[in-house]
Structure 1
Amino acid sequence: MITSGEGGRVQIVLNAFDTLFNKRDYAAAERFWSPRYIQHSAHIPPGREGLFDLIKGLPATLRYENHVAAATGDFVILHGRFSGIGLPAAWVVADIVRMEDDVLAEHWDVIQDEATQAQSRSGLPMFGDKFPT
């Protein structure tokens, strides 16, 4: 695992998201999330256990894809898509994670249903370079 600098923090968070959301490897995911994890999302129960329990209750089709990742200091920001969540539209999400000792310590998010081409006033997709099918 890469553990130094802002690029290392980005890679840790991307690995954490892949481990939890795509692989559903909860034992391995515990290495990435602090036991004292602070959750600010209105959609997720508190703590690491609240997050893990939420994911356990979602369909097996859940998938996370990342489009943009950036870091500054102890903060990593991801722009990604959560699909297969059992809702009519995928979620396009900006996740903000504060790192502490190379683990995810705190989280905020901004979540929006992914717009179709017909719904997009800009005429551009919200995620990547293609509209959802």
Structure 2
Amino acid sequence: MKYGFALLIGLLLSLPVHATGANDPKTVVLDFYKLAMQEFKPREAFARYAAADFVEHSADSAGGTAASTVTFLEGLIKQFPDPHWEVVRSVAEGDLVFLHVRVTPAPKAPAIAVAEIFRVRNGKIVEHWDVIQHEPAKAVNPNSMF
């Protein structure tokens, strides 16, 4: 019996541990996204959640740095002052976090589907990629993009 208990403890200790709490990659990304995109404070969000060596892969951000991405997002907010950013799905695997987002740039405007991919290291966002698809006026597929 004592060997069975020791074996059980050994098996439990060998299981992978998933981070939870403030430095959990999914928590970091969701907190970042809320502050940057839903509260319209990208500069504050990058200061708080982005690593010093942050790399932006989006073709919309000239320079590929945190500073250029903040400038791009601030311009986007000025261009569309009443957008709605809704995280429809979020998935985390290791240091990667994936978001499926519905963006409505203005009231009654067609939605935009955005797939966001973040890499997190030591509680800071170090990389970001995105894929963007505008909702067509008339979809040939009856299934929702969301």
Report the TM range for the smaller structure's normalisation.
0.7 to 0.9
Aligned to 1:57, the other structure's residue is in SS state: helix
Q: 1:35 and 1:63, CA in 2 relative to 1: closer, same or farther beyond 3 A?
A: farther
Which runs of structure 2 are paired with 1:52-67 in the superposition (5 Å)? 52-58=70-76, 59-67=80-88
Aligned pairs, how many? 121
Aligned equivalent of 2:31, options 15, 18, 32: 15
Q: Distance in 2 between matches of 1:79 and 1:63?
A: 14
Which runs of structure 2 are paired with 1:88-127 in the superposition (5 Å)? 89-116=110-137, 119-127=138-146
Aligned equivalent of 1:73, options 87, 94, 104: 94
Q: Hey, what does 2:61 align to over in structure 1? A: 44
Unpaired stretches in structure 1, ≥5 consecutive residues:
128-133
TM-score by length of 2: 0.73
Q: Once the two structures are aligned, what percentage of the paired residues are identical?
A: 27
TM-score by length of 1: 0.79
Measured against aligned partners, the alpha-carbon deviations of 1:53-107 in whole angstroms (never above 9, x if no partner) come to: 111112221331111111111100111122216xx64320111111011111101
Q: Distance in 1 between matches of 2:121 and 2:32?
A: 14
Q: Distance in 1 between matches of 2:144 and 2:136?
A: 7
Contact 1:98–1:107, Cα closer than 8 Å, also in 2: yes
Q: Hey, what does 2:8 align to over in structure 1? A: none
Question: Rg: which structure is higher?
Answer: 2
Contact 1:39–1:108, Cα closer than 8 Å, also in 2: yes
Aligned to 1:31, the other structure's residue is in SS state: helix
